[in-house]
Structure 1
Amino acid sequence: MPETVALKYLTRSVLSGQEAPPRIALLRAASPMGEPSARWSAYALCELVDEAMSRFPEGSRAAADAWLAPRLHATLRMTRAEASDPELWIYVAMVVAPDYVVWRHLGGAGSSGEPAMVATGRFTGPHYTQAFARLWWAAELFRDGDDYRPAVTACRNQDVLNTVMRLDLIDHRPSARAVVRLLDQGTIRTGREVNALAKAINTAGTTLLYDVLAPDELPEQEGVREWIRDAETAPPAPWKALPDGPKDGRIPEASVDTMTGCFAGLFEKAPVRGRADSPSPGVPAQGVSLHKAYAESSEPRSAR
């Protein structure tokens, strides 16, 4: 569905949840996905978001992200090229499950008594903002082959979704995995710390440089194709256990270790607001060399 069509119907009443988008008009403006396939089943997706909304009461709706992301990814089985089409996600948000977008992203009431509204970008925004695209891509970028557990960890921290997901380096699988490992280790915990880490690693190097320090193996595309073909016969994504992702190869452990050490070194020197031992805000993180962080992370601790 084109963004221009969606914007036409994203009225204040729709954004505030007072009325649903006009389904019939939207369906007339939508284009077919192509060959009919079980992976495009709107019914399966509706069941999934209905369960998410029933599981997480008001006050804990952000926690739905970690539950829904891997199951959304396993339900909408796509290549990255297919998932890069913003019109697909606009259709899901406007036609299939607009109630979820409002449920999850309705903001607070305005100071002048205006009703609370959802930001337009939750329906039509980029992949790190749009309500469904952000979850699918989080599962895709943070999974380790068929293992969704790292993606669950990533989605439990809203600043990972809101900040780290915007960075080009997250396309480098060992870097994405290293961020999650630092969360698992408790090296970074708070939103401020996640944002400080994101700024430090983004300014210290580029994805190309990270590829040199920590080589990654190309995903096995046949594993992705088989995972997509299996959508025709696969059962719905389980609600209690995590589903299996595509078997396209795990991330090289040595590369994850390298990036974890680098990022830990960069974070140690990054200014974090409120941290007692944080460098002065006047000493920017970009003063730390990625190569230096790598060298320091590789030194034996007895030599430090």
Structure 2
Amino acid sequence: MTRPGIDTPDRLALVSPAVAAKYLTVGVRAGREQLPQVALLRASEAVDDDSGRWDTAPVRELLDEAIHRFGDSPTDADAWLSPRLHATLRLTRAEAARPGLWNFLALAVAPDYVLWRHLPRGEAKDGEPPKVSAPRFTGIHYTQAFARLWWAAELFRDGGDYRPVEIACRNQDMLNTAMRLDAIDHRPTALAMVRVLKGLAESGATRLGDRVNALCTAVNAAGSTLMYDVIAQDDPSDPDALVSWVAEADTAPSVPWDRLPDGPPEEAVRRDSVDRLARMFQQFSEHAPLRDRGRKREDEATS
């Protein structure tokens, strides 16, 4: 899928939030206007690194495949795309923390993907056309269209194993709520939450989204008094393994489309730590009250 009349830039760059806000009009967010690409590129800042990992072609190819594969089911693309985007964009956390990179990807490289994935379906309301929320283009890491997927893979992977990422990203409430928690930076906590989610899904639990939100609330509340990193020890990550993995980007083959790629060759999280927290979080899940979000939406619609 290509954008008629618009050439994808060859290299990733940085677009400041101020510049992004200037060009992110309501018409752009509704898919009725095209971004002024020439002006946007002139206002962008080049990345001071000539390695191939900043080439846009592999990312654009990946996004085109996601659109082709998932067609009328954009939400389903998240679980497929998240690990592959992470393995294609081999970044350090410091690099991934720069909002300008994600702004550029959303505005200059793939605004069509953001529209395809996040444009609300349905009729116009109050005379206003459906439009993508601005934070999907330029927001914080847990709302921006591409940052949320990259960071989900970073936070939920088990060393080089992306299988927990797929499980997490199949549930939008996990992406939208768990990603906001400070505790999710603790690897055993993240993987224990995924294990509970997997159990709920496999058991056919009803109101799965409500249960995930209740679990996130309970984990967050308990985290204010319990020190998860003391209860469940996590070994320090191996910076050399990550640096080597990032450096191999120029020679690494394209990520596979029909099986999961391999992530950074870091040690897996301690099983005993995940087991300990998973038992605790399972109890949280069994006793956490469920909010009736459907009723809340009805009340808002009639107020």
Compute the TM-score of the two structures, normalised by the length of structure 1: 0.87
Q: Quick one: which amino acid aligns to residue 165 of structure 2?
A: A
Deviation at 1:11, TM superposition (A): 1.0
Deviates more, 1:3-12 or 1:64-73: 3-12
Deviation at 1:37, TM superposition (A): 1.2
Structure 2 unaligned segments of length 5 or more: list them: 1-14, 293-303
* Structure 1 residue aligned with 2:156: 142
Aligned pairs (5 A) from 1:128-139: 128-139=142-153
The runs of at least 4 consecutive aligned structure 1 residues that moved more than 6 Å come to none
Aligned pairs (5 A) from 1:1-304: 1-58=15-72, 60-108=73-121, 109-186=123-200, 190-206=208-224, 209-273=227-291
Q: Quick one: which amino acid aligns to residue 243 of structure 2?
A: R
Could you tell me how far apart the structure 2 residues matched to 1:45 and 1:242 are?
16
Deviates more, 1:114-123 or 1:101-110: 101-110
Superposed CA deviations along residues 247-271 of structure 1, whole A, max 9, x for unmatched, are 1211000000011011111222210
SS of corresponding position for 2:46: coil
Q: Quick one: which amino acid aligns to residue 150 of structure 2?
A: W
Could you tell me how far apart the structure 1 residues matched to 2:132 and 2:259 are?
31
Tell me how large the CA RMSD over aligned residues is: 1.4
SS of corresponding position for 1:163: helix
Deviation at 1:73, TM superposition (A): 0.2
Could you tell me how far apart the structure 2 residues matched to 1:159 and 1:110 are?
25
Q: 1:106 to 1:232 in 2, by over 3 A?
A: same
* Structure 2 residue aligned with 1:289: none
Q: 1:91 to 1:208 in 2, by over 3 A?
A: farther
Could you tell me how far apart the structure 1 residues matched to 2:100 and 2:49 are?
17
Deviation at 1:273, TM superposition (A): 3.7
Q: Contact between 1:168 and 1:207, CA under 8 Å: does it hold in 2? A: no
Could you tell me how far apart the structure 2 residues matched to 1:23 and 1:197 are?
43
Could you tell me how far apart the structure 2 residues matched to 1:2 and 1:130 are?
14
Deviates more, 1:229-238 or 1:179-188: 179-188
Compute the TM-score of the two structures, normalised by the length of structure 2: 0.87
Q: Quick one: which amino acid aligns to residue 89 of structure 1?
A: W
SS of corresponding position for 1:263: helix
Deviates more, 1:113-122 or 1:167-176: 113-122
% identical equivalent positions: 54
Deviation at 1:3, TM superposition (A): 0.7
Deviation at 1:32, TM superposition (A): 0.8
Q: Quick one: which amino acid aligns to residue 23 of structure 1?
A: Q
Q: Contact between 1:66 and 1:151, CA under 8 Å: does it hold in 2? A: yes
Deviation at 1:208, TM superposition (A): 7.4
